[in-house]
Amino acid sequence: MRQVDKEVHPRYALSFTSGGLLSREGEIIAAVYLDSRDWQAARARVVDENLLQARSTSSLIRLARETIQRLEALDDGEIELLVDSSPTEQHHLMWAAACRRYTLIGDFAEEVLRERFLLMTPTLDTDDFDRFIAGKSLWHSELDDLKPSTRQKLRQTLFRMLREADLCTDAGAIVPAVMSERVAEILDRRTPSDLRFFPTTTPFTSSGSQVQR
């Protein structure tokens, strides 16, 4: 039974234990990428010139790799918007990128963050994450194998990302996402709509061509 479940539910990628939302890094690397539209060339330039101002080569390489993996989840139009956007817009785009790159984060955003907001239970705490992980472990055996310290690090990083995206306060209150029209429109183009990752009442559109207010 477990084997069948694992085939239906691909393993979660769980390598987001370093860094946070990476908005600053995302903006820098996205701008470099747009010069060549080549991620390998962008990575080489970022590392060669230490554009992220990392303290060591190893941390620079790790940070560049993680940021690029998330940016690769965005299309070129979204990358262009990321470079030419306000801090709040960048936060929302980088949160969407993280949700796409890491299905675990996307599932938590849709099934816990957004669901609690819509049910007017607008708070999050560590128990919500632990219950979410316990439920998902029924279909994802890799979650059963997590060390307590790794689970804690995943939880800390996810909540840090939520705070940096301005979707949650330090006290755990869910903050409604007030998205610009252009960010909401570009995220709603996808099927299913990426607005599902946010605590917002903005309805999804059937065609994704415009945002209903």
- Domain span holding position 36: 23-72
Extract the residue ranges of the chain whose pLDDT is less than 70: 1-8, 206-213
| Cis amide bond preceding 148, omega within 30 | no
Q: Do residues 68 and 99 share a domain?
A: no
Q: Do residues 155 and 63 share a domain?
A: no
Q: Do residues 65 and 92 share a domain?
A: no
Q: Do residues 206 and 121 share a domain?
A: yes
Q: Do residues 174 and 206 share a domain?
A: yes
pTM of the entire structure? 0.91
Residue 1 domain flag:
no
Number of domain units in the chain: 2
pLDDT digits (tens, 9 = 90+) for 95-138: 999 999 999 999 999 999 999 999 999 999 999 999 999 999 99
Smallest CA-to-CA distance from 34 within 65, 64, 78 is with 78
Residue 16 domain flag:
no
* CA 55 from centroid of its chain's CA atoms: 25
Residue 184 domain flag:
yes
**pLDDT number for residue 26:** 98
**pLDDT number for residue 204:** 84
**pLDDT number for residue 83:** 97
C-beta separation of 191 from 164 below 8 A: no
